[in-house]
């Protein structure tokens, strides 16, 4: 926190976190959360944060077993959102490279903050899971 920062950043209980013109408008938040909440987009953004990657390099770098088709769909969606740029080099076969745009790079700070929060709160969340599972053994979600 900066020395001059004294304002409370948490909204009051009756103040909404997000304010849109109309409830139906949602300020475009749903589109962004849908993209970043899917299984692969954050992994792709994290991998591209370190620099440009060719398609196969990106596929090997993304944790898990992402199929070629799913990676193609993911980078297309991220490209459409303006988070990733795609460069095709006229070679045989064509060489395709992906990199984050300026907007995509600005997202990496938020992804890091979320990862840091997750790591810091992992013990509390694990303890909460254990307590809930013990109290609700018959209704515990399956991992």
Q: How high is the pLDDT of residue 3?
A: 54
Class (C level, CATH) for 26-136: mainly alpha
Q: How high is the pLDDT of residue 30?
A: 76
- For residue 61, cis peptide bond before it (omega within 30 degrees of 0): no
- Does this model's pTM top 0.85? no
Give residue-wise pLDDT tens across range 79-111.
999 999 999 999 998 899 999 999 999 999 998
pLDDT band at 1 (very low <50, low <70, confident <90, very high): very low
DSSP 8-state assignment for residue 1: -
Q: Note the helical H segments in the chain.
A: 29-36, 41-48, 55-61, 68-80, 102-135
> CA-CA distance, 12 to 70, in Å (whole number)?
41
pLDDT band at 74 (very low <50, low <70, confident <90, very high): very high
Q: How high is the pLDDT of residue 64?
A: 85
In 33-59, which positions are buried (b, 16+ CB within 10 angstroms) versus exposed (e)?
eebbeeebbbbbbbbbbeeebebeebb
Q: How high is the pLDDT of residue 13?
A: 67
The mean-pLDDT minimum among 19-23, 114-118, 126-130, 133-137 falls in 19-23
Give residue-wise pLDDT tens across range 17-59.
667 776 666 677 777 777 788 889 999 999 999 999 999 999 9
Closest CA to 112 of 49, 18, 60, 57: 49
Pairing of strands 84-89, 53-54: unpaired
Q: How high is the pLDDT of residue 143?
A: 64
Identify the sign of the CA torsion 108, 110, 112, 118.
negative
């Amino acid at each position: 926190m900066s020395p001059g920062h004294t304002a409370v950043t948490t909204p009051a209980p009756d103040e909404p976190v997000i304010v849109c013109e109309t409830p139906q408008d949602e300020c475009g938040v749903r589109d962004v959360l849908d993209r970043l909440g899917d299984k692969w987009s954050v992994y792709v953004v994290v991998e591209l944060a370190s620099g440009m990657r060719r398609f196969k390099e990106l596929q090997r770098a993304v944790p898990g077993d992402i199929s070629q088709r799913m990676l193609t769909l993911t980078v297309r969606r991220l490209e459409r959102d303006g988070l990733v740029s795609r460069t095709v080099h006229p070679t045989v076969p064509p060489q395709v490279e992906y990199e984050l745009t300026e907007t995509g790079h600005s997202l990496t700070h938020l992804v890091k903050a979320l990862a840091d929060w997750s790591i810091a709160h992992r013990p509390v969340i694990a303890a909460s899971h254990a307590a809930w599972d013990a109290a609700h053994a018959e209704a515990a979600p399956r991992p």
